[in-house]
Structure 1
Amino acid sequence: MLVLEDGRRYEGRAYGSVGQTLGEIVFATGMTGYQETLTDPSYAGQIVLMTAPHIGNTGANDDDMESRRIWVSGFVVREPARIASNFRSTRSLDDDLTGGGVVGISGVDTRAITRHIRSAGAMKSGIFSGDRFALSDGEQLELVRSGAGMRGRNLSDEVSTVEPFSVPAQGEKIGTVAVLDLGVKTATLGHLAARGFEVLVLPQSVTAEHVLSLKPSALFFSNGPGDPAASDLHVNLLQEVLRAGVPYFGICFGNQLLGRALGFRTYKLPFGHRGINQPVLDKTTGRVEITSQNHGFAVDMPIEGVHESRTGFGRVEVSHYSLNDQVVEGIRCLDIPAFSVQYHPESAAGPHDAEYLFDRFRDVVVANRAAAGAGDAK
């Protein structure tokens, strides 16, 4: 049984592990990439409903894992594949769900549930199977309503690496980038290394003093789950590193944290942006990008005009925005070397529409290093 916070109930079949799970229910619109979705740390604390009706047909493998494990709290599908058929498949999706302890449900009307979430908004939910299916309607609903919501919740410590590690640069090394792991994806690290960065991945608990002691060429904040308003420590760290003149690039959660570091507030979207088909306008080029997104919060900032940072970082403007609902999708600082985007440029939506952002980051770091060298020469 899938139970929503507002009392809606949907009966289906157990899928994956059997038992009970609680989380915020959200929907993802990707027709492909279910394994990347399941292993994206940004989905921690959420029950993910796939709008594509047939899930699991290409099985699962180690290469498509975006992190070390599955992070979703639960999984909702219309029809799971009975047979996994793909030359890259090494196991079934059912095996991964069961092995990862993910409680799921299948055989429900995912289109009806999606329409309801779009109308009522993302909300607390729960899946109950096995012995937990026998609980009364009232008991199940009470468990759902007593569960933790996403607003005001900091999940970075649950998904971040415990120990720092590094990824070597590919080709000619141009510098080092300190990556604050707030839920970073494997593909992101690969893109940074491919641009000549030695990648130093750090736990979310590090201090600004530690980051600066590493003398990085740049700082990168990753995607991640939770409410950016509950991450003041990360905002303070970012402000200190920006004041030291270190170039910055952030994606998803890193975009929201840059917004807050600049003095703007963030807010919770009704049902968020999740999927691999989200259209975004790059205001600099006028080009429309098809992007991959996974976020339930956004930066509150006018999409037109140049604005003054409320925390002393100079002029700021919105660089990208959503064509569906005009949500801020990118921020560019005009007086310091810092920018960010709300979407996931590593996720191959488009399929390569947004990869230029990693090149832009490389160019910013190279230009900053050249400027610093010219200053030293003078």
Structure 2
Amino acid sequence: MQKLKKTYKFAIKTSLFLTITLTLILSVFLYAVDAITWLIIPFILCFGLISFLIIQYRVERFIYRRVKKIYDDLTLLESTSLTKQPITTDMATLTKEIDKYAKDKKLEIETLKVREEYRKEFLGNVSHELKTPLFTVQGYILTLLDGAIDDKRIRKRYLQRASKGVERLIYIVKDLDMITKLEVGDLSLAKEVFDVVALIKNVFELLEMKANKKKITLTFDRDYNEAILVYADKERIEQVITNLIVNSIKYGREKGTTEVSIENLIKNKVIVRVTDNGEGIAEEHLSRIFERFYRVDKSGSRKEGGSGLGLSIVKHIIEAHDERIYIESEPDVGSEFSFSMEKAK
């Protein structure tokens, strides 16, 4: 009944107006013809009641039809919030719902615009990453076809360089395939209990020569004499730690340090931190650092190699474990990447 309150008010006021007007007209007429005037009272009451019912019915039907048309039009636009509720003739409620619908659509449009910009940038980055090794391979092959193939020394050198270009292409495609599988949940995790300290030590050994080229020291923040057992996909976590340490070496300063620490986060979680004292990352880049192919330095960083997918893969692997990854960085001071893992029970 509350929803019909305004229409009742309108019907009552209108019927009263008509009744008073008719009463005045009839009173003047009956007085002029000198007729019996007491009969006017029940007539007026009946007229008032009937006019109220007719007006109320007509107004309800009039508003209902037009409001229903609005609901139907919005339903065609997939307004789920409106289709879930009964149609009401209360215009205030309808106005509120339409306003909410308009705001939701505006937000949706803005989100689509952002995604479209991201899509364009992503396609541009993919094109850039793929065309460099493709053109390199093509150049060497065309040179060989033009006659250099007859020179054994040049032939071997050019074929080796072309092979490296093909390897880079395969590397990029494999990384893209892995990210796609992680995003759609098609890459299953083989979780097991393992010692994360031993795993990090193994990564240190694998990357020791790479770090030595820049005289960067790979170290723990303290001695870990006891095993720290976690429950995760060992191979994927090794890939995460490797990517983070490779990045710290790649963008670390000469004679710098890459330090790894393992801390208890809560009762059943540990957090692994990879900290360096390298060039750091400006604040405006932090929100996008895990995007595919996103590079802080659009030109110079490409010289360092890599597919440009390492941090994106790291993020997807951690999220596939239902965990979180964090970054803190300051230009010319260094960066710290940290991620959580589940402790073994």
- The TM-score bracket by the shorter chain reads under 0.3
TM-score, length-scaled by structure 2 = 0.23
TM-score, length-scaled by structure 1 = 0.21
Q: Which has the higher strand share?
A: 1
Structure 1 or 2, whichever has the larger Rg, is 2
